[in-house]
Amino acid sequence: MDAGEIITLKTVVSDRDHVDGRDDAPVTLLEYGNFECVDCGYAYPVLKHIRKELGSNLRFVFRNFPSTRSNPNALRAAEAAEAAAAQARFWEMHDQLFEHQNALENSHLKHYAGLAHLDVVRFEQDLNQHTFLSQIEADYQSSLFDEHITGTPTLYINGVRYTGNIDLESLVQAIKQADSDEKIEILTEHHRFSDLIRRFKQK
């Protein structure tokens, strides 16, 4: 694979995905993530900040990619996230898992379910019965063989794989470039974002 090769997303966003934001948002940022992955943990506050600041101008999509080779609790955490999604609390659990990456045992997951205001009994039943395991495994295989995802976090911006640094300045610039119609006014109005863009142009 050439370093400059443009890689596009093959599996379009659908109802199966975890989506935060409007379908008609100018920019879609999609993450293949792993709740126990250290690099995903570093990316989490950056992505959360961008999501908060851009609001309805950004559609954020999260897809589980729980590689367990070096993250033994990743699959269980993904099951917890899907169990929360079944109760319309995916994003609450998403945040709990990333904010407590070093504590993802079953007892911890139950505690996070309470913090996320889930029906804890139903949540535990889903975990014990592995209700969402086959779905997660099927999605994992699809990500591996169709999208050639090999690590996390892997990001796409408007369907194109992002290969830059996952820091505020780099991501803001990439989102700005993806907003070809310049619909996201906050990127020029917000003093911090406009300063980041100005510094980038001066390089």
Number of structural domains the chain divides into = 1
pLDDT above 80: residue 44: yes
**Residue 89 belongs to what domain range?**
18-163
All residues at 6 or more sequence positions from 51 whose CB lies less than 8 Å from its CB, including other chains: 20, 21, 29, 58, 60
pLDDT above 70: residue 60: yes
Short-list 37, 2, 8, 24, CA closest to 166: 37
Short-list 62, 72, 76, CA closest to 33: 62
Query: Does residue 176 sit within a domain?
Result: no
Q: Which residues pair with 160 in a beta bridge?
A: 8, 157
- Domain CATH code at residue 44: 3.40.30.10
Count Cβ neighbours within 10 Å for each residue of 82-96 and write b for 16 or more, e otherwise: bbbeebebbbbbbeb
Q: What is the pLDDT of residues 137-156, one digit of tens each?
A: 999 999 999 999 999 999 99
Q: Which of 20-34, 49-63, 140-154, 180-194 has the lowest mean pLDDT?
A: 180-194
pLDDT above 50: residue 167: yes
Q: What is the pLDDT of residues 103-129, one digit of tens each?
A: 999 999 999 999 999 999 999 999 999
Query: Does residue 201 sit within a domain?
Result: no
CA atoms within 13 A on the CB side of 186: 13
Average pLDDT over residues 151-169: 96
